[in-house]
Amino acid sequence: MPRSVRDVVFVDGVRTPFGKAGGMYANTRADDLVVRCIRELLRRNPQLPPERVDEVAVAATTQIGDQGLTIGRTAALLAGLPKTVPGYAIDRMCAGAMTAVTTVSGGIAMGAYDVAIAGGVEHMGRHPMGEGVDPNPRFLAERIVDPSALVMGSTAENLHDRYPRITKERADAYGLASQQKTAAAYEAGKLQPDLVTVATRDPEAGWGLAVKDEAPRDTSLEKLASLKTPFRPHGRVTAGNAAGLNDGATACVLAAEDVARELGLPVGMRLVSYGFVGVEPEIMGVGPIPSTEKALRIAGLSIADIGLFELNEAFAVQVLAFLDHFGIADDDPRVNQWGGAIAVGHPLASSGVRLMTQLSRQFAERPDVRYGLTAMCIGIGMGGTVIWENPNWEGGK
């Protein structure tokens, strides 16, 4: 049977405000965070008949308890989607939501789906990193990986060793800039449109409403310089130049471009290419470098073609390694212009769709930019990159 590949578009994306692990969402279930996102997508896009959703792929790194039970399916049912809409769970650690997007996009491109919802969640308060894991003893006994490969902060220290020009001072300056850019983005109302409010409950304070991220803070280079280096004595990685431990969820709608046009859905971005690669697990933060080279190669583009970057800031050092590799300045205005995970947080499997949602908003503001890129490093040594085209592009750079 002859098939043609269809163009895939990012229609719309939302996220919950991100909480500190065990903070404002201490008494909120992880699956309820996903449900809020799906319901908000349907509310914002009434042109989308719920029965037209062909798949719901939701990522979580720790798939037990309220993040277990095939969360894509359970969240779809809880969100009130028709029972005929299937769903499943995905895991690629930090790139869970990114992988949910690329996986359902593959399905859309080959005609298995017209419309799909993809997203991710991580409640790191309820499910601390590494909960329930049982690494095979062969990993260490046979030196398949270095022991530091299993502690993400240690992999970031290793990266500082590998690139001595990325000093603690540079990492702290990057961390401060992330906080300042996030504060400016909030001030300018850039982040709020895609935040879905969440009712919260505290046994003492009672009911509340989460309307903004909990983690961003006012800081200074002096304060950052004084923080402990928990992953190594006299190390360089601190709570100020790393993403924190967070709770949150994201979701987005993807569709075949012709179906989006038929239904009258907005077209935020057009998928160009994506790439995932493996790297040495003990320096997992370099992952986005080869994954970006791969995605660029597949797209027939060069880094100079990319007008906007949304890079996940797991650690300042890994973003700086990326920027150095591609000859981009630490403060290049094309990069994370609304700040990043060091400020807002990184609820592991949810973050990929946060990057995409923000890029899509930035595309709408920048018809002069044709291509943008979302990229992230991934535990156990991987990188993921997705390149997008701006449907609002009007020519020029």
Ligand X SMILES: CC(C)(COP(=O)(O)OP(=O)(O)OC[C@H]1O[C@@H](n2cnc3c(N)ncnc32)[C@H](O)[C@@H]1OP(=O)(O)O)[C@@H](O)C(=O)NCCC(=O)NCCS
Q: Which residues bind ligand X (CB under 6 A)?
A: 94, 152-153, 217, 219, 223-224, 227, 230, 239-240, 242-245, 314, 346, 379
Burial class (CB in 10 A: 0-12, 13-18, 19+), 103: middle
Q: Which two tokens stand for residue 67?
A: 């993040």
- CB of 51 or CB of 331, closer to ligand X: 331
Provide φ and ψ at 206, rounded to 5°: 85, -155
- Nearest distance from residue 72's CB to ligand X, in Å? 22
Is 37 an active-site residue?
A: no
Task: List the catalytic residue out of 123, 127, 160, 346.
Answer: 346
Cβ nearer to ligand X, comparing 96 with 268: 96
Question: 94 an active-site residue?
Answer: yes
Distance in Å, CB of 246 to ligand X, minimum: 9
Q: How far is the CB of 4 from ligand X (least distance, A)?
A: 38
- CA–CA distance, 339 with 367 (Å, rounded to integer): 21
Least distance from ligand X to the Cβ atom of residue 243, Å: 5
Pairing relationship of beta strands 53-59 and 115-123 according to DSSP bridges: parallel
DSSP string across 327-367: T--TT-TTB-TT--HHHH---GGGHHHHHHHHHHHHHHH-T
Beta bridge partners of 116: 55, 254
Q: Which of 94, 127, 160, 252 is catalytic?
A: 94
Exactly one of 37, 123, 127, 377 is catalytic; name it: 377
**Is 377 part of the annotated catalytic residue set?**
yes
DSSP E strand stretches across the chain: 8-15, 19-20, 53-59, 87-90, 115-123, 198-202, 206-210, 246-256, 269-278, 306-311, 371-378, 382-389
Residue whose CB is less far from ligand X, 43 or 217: 217
Of 140 and 239, which has the nearer Cβ to ligand X? 239
Instruction: Cite the active site residues.
Output: 94, 346, 377
